[in-house]
Structure 1
Amino acid sequence: MSEPLEDEFGREVTEVRISLTDRCNFDCIYCHNEGLGDTRGPMEPSDDELTADEVIRFLEVVEEFGIEKVKFTGGEPMLRADLEDIIRRTPESMEVSLTTNGSFLRGRAEDLKAAGLARVNVSQDALNPEQFAAVTKSGAYETVLDGVEAALEAGLAPVKLNMVVFEQTAGYVEGMVEHVANREGLQLQLIEYMPELAGRPEWNIDIGRVHDWLADIADRVERREMHNRKRYWVSSTDPDAVGDGDPGMVEIVDPVENPTFCANCHRVRVTHNGYLKGCLNRNDDLQSMGEMSRTEIRETFEDVVANRIPYYGEYLAENDDSEWVRNVT
């Protein structure tokens, strides 16, 4: 195994994020489909969807370059009937995680764990069926909650709940924080809304207000080296809390206009149809891996890593009016 590849900004690439499908059984109003925009097609798999053999071939090639972690995403990756097989065949040197809406976890969580899944993130934006339906356009609220329980029972703890924070969900943050503080085995990841990907800039809120509120109520605050993220450890205020009494962990992912975040990115993404992209926020850097031969995979991966540019601070730069504009120098 070689050392990880570096781009010209000194950023090692140690992780890959693979979209296994652009299909999804939800229709979340903030979805940006891994930065590609709302391109989801019909529920039947398309001919250009990466096969399990192609996914594994890619992972075996990039293992040569020191890739340590792989996260499978979508669309909804659990629409792939071969997901367990893909995880089982993933190189043992890689930690495997999954981002899912959770609606299929009951009945499959144990098999996913047995196949080698280490961690799972479940998208959950509200703790009320009506509020959940308004955001996801789905009536699967109880199914998702049951799926989270199934993941915990299968030994996938801690289960990290992903919540996108924007105008429609900001009022639910306090309840979600209390939920993870009150429930052993859960963590919460509050994700800043990205209007440049999802559109609707009027839905944006100031994520700094959420930081300030959490700092006021947290037992302690930690700063992660990766992306300079902050973690807040919050105790439950419920006298009937069912947890073990330990504080719950809440982490904020705030990439928007954040040069530090981009300067510490160690990830390359793979689209469901076999393109590599070096940055979530860009689609002008997409490169096809062609027929997915090992040579094509290797050459494309090396080229994508070599041409990665931090989105904020380099690809975009602040002008004299403190606006982020395309850096053309």
Structure 2
Amino acid sequence: MQDTFGRHITYLRVSVTDRCDFRCFYCMSEEMQFLPRKDLLSIEELDQVCSTFIERGVRKIRLTGGEPLVRRGIMELIARLSEHKDSGLLDEITLTTNGSQLAKHAHEIKRLGVERINVSVDSLNPEKFAEITRRGNLNQVIEGLEAAKDAGLKVKINTVALKAFNEDELSDMLGWCGTHGFDMTMIETMPLGEIGGNRSDQYLPLTEVRARLEADWTLSPSDHTTGGPSKYMTVAETGQKVGFITPLSDHFCDSCNRMRLTCTGTLYMCLGQDSAVDLRAALRADATLGKLNAAIDQALHLKPKGHEFVIEPGNDGPALKRHMSVTGG
């Protein structure tokens, strides 16, 4: 699959649910209204859409949410997708999780074919962690990370850099990741959805973060890539990698190779644009999948050149009304 700018689409991010057991303050409001379960694609429909993308050239699928491990039937979906790995059509199934359910499920997802996961951890201070997540328990997540290590999963920690909140512990977190054999990716906050707060109070450019890290660590450019937007550095003291995702301070759109499928079957061609195609209607209207493939063709034509995120004084509201948990975190 190739869009009108010549970019090959090989990566599909799939939100299996908008529900989450956390309410991270940079991601969603505390009192969220989640979608009715009847509006969600069934596990069978998720498998059918993913399988169609795989047949058309997608080589990597990331399951996201919300929190994907709270979705009923998620293990069945992973098992079905793993059949494409066995056939050689799919290179990788990965998972992004908040870690709350990992202690229960780490060994099973590894057995079913997931080799690598991203776990969101924005603070190692239990009080700050509870404040960020509004209901999360850091010890529960740490137990999940231990289970993931024990299962043999490769772990990367995702951390959103938040001005005047966790910026003073990012260097220590990088050291903690090195001790445990985790890579780390730092991410700028993104203006998606109403969160009940001022986003300019949260935004911390990663150029500033990297400069501070280099005072404590020896960072050198790495040619490592996972097919995503992160630019990686190697940490000489630990041998692990640290990545930087900069949707605001340094756009990465020229190399974008992905699309995002929501749990309701809406396909977004760009995280930062509203243009979308309804795959659920196409899937349910034509059992031969002709309309589904036509809708995917339409999406390739509509995929924009890039996003237009801005956070600055006087322009600190959401760029888009939908929350990250709807699109797929």
TM-score, scaled relative to structure 1: 0.82
Distance 1:39 1:55 in 2: 28
Does structure 2 retain, via aligned residues, the 8 Å contact 1:215–1:221?
no
Q: Give 1:297's aligned residue.
A: 292
Distance 2:31 2:76 in 1: 26
Distance 1:204 1:61 in 2: 38
Does structure 1 retain, via aligned residues, the 8 Å contact 2:259–2:269?
yes
Shift of 1:297: 2.1
Q: Does residue 282 of the first structure (1) align with residue 248 of the second (2)?
A: no
Does structure 2 retain, via aligned residues, the 8 Å contact 1:129–1:139?
no
Q: Give 1:231's aligned residue.
A: 232
Of 245, 260, 283, the residue aligned with 1:269 is 260
Q: What secondary structure does 1:86 align onto?
A: helix
Shift of 1:39: 9.6
Q: Does residue 182 of the first structure (1) align with residue 174 of the second (2)?
A: no
Distance 2:40 2:31 in 1: 13
Q: What secondary structure does 2:37 align onto?
A: coil
Q: Does residue 255 of the first structure (1) align with residue 269 of the second (2)?
A: no
Q: What secondary structure does 2:128 align onto?
A: helix
Does structure 1 retain, via aligned residues, the 8 Å contact 2:277–2:298?
no
Distance 1:196 1:274, change over 3 A: closer
Shift of 1:80: 1.4
Amino acid at match of 1:258: D
Q: What secondary structure does 1:58 align onto?
A: helix
Q: Give 1:110's aligned residue.
A: 107
Distance 2:229 2:23 in 1: 31
Mapping 1:208-223, distance limit 5 Å: 208-216=207-215, 217-223=217-223
Q: Give 2:117's aligned residue.
A: 120
Distance 1:79 1:179, change over 3 A: same
Q: What secondary structure does 2:26 align onto?
A: coil
Distance 1:311 1:15 in 2: 16
Q: Give 2:63's aligned residue.
A: 72
Does structure 1 retain, via aligned residues, the 8 Å contact 2:27–2:192?
no
Does structure 2 retain, via aligned residues, the 8 Å contact 1:289–1:300?
no
Q: Percent identity?
A: 30
Amino acid at match of 1:201: S
Q: What secondary structure does 2:94 align onto?
A: strand
Does structure 1 retain, via aligned residues, the 8 Å contact 2:11–2:61?
yes
Does structure 2 retain, via aligned residues, the 8 Å contact 1:223–1:229?
no
Amino acid at match of 1:265: C
Q: Does residue 31 of the first structure (1) align with residue 27 of the second (2)?
A: yes
Of 14, 18, 30, the residue aligned with 2:10 is 14
Distance 1:289 1:49, change over 3 A: closer
Q: Give 1:98's aligned residue.
A: 95
Q: Give 2:326's aligned residue.
A: none
Does structure 2 retain, via aligned residues, the 8 Å contact 1:19–1:74?
yes
Distance 2:105 2:259 in 1: 28
Shift of 1:223: 4.6
Shift of 1:30: 0.8
Q: What secondary structure does 1:177 align onto?
A: helix
Greater Cα shift, 249-258 or 124-133: 249-258
CA deviation vs aligned residue, 1:219-251 (integer Å, no higher than 9, x gap): 532255656743222255xxxxxxxxx422211
Structure 2: segments with no counterpart, 5+ residues: 311-318, 320-329
Q: Give 2:76's aligned residue.
A: 85
Structure 1: segments with no counterpart, 5+ residues: 237-245, 318-325
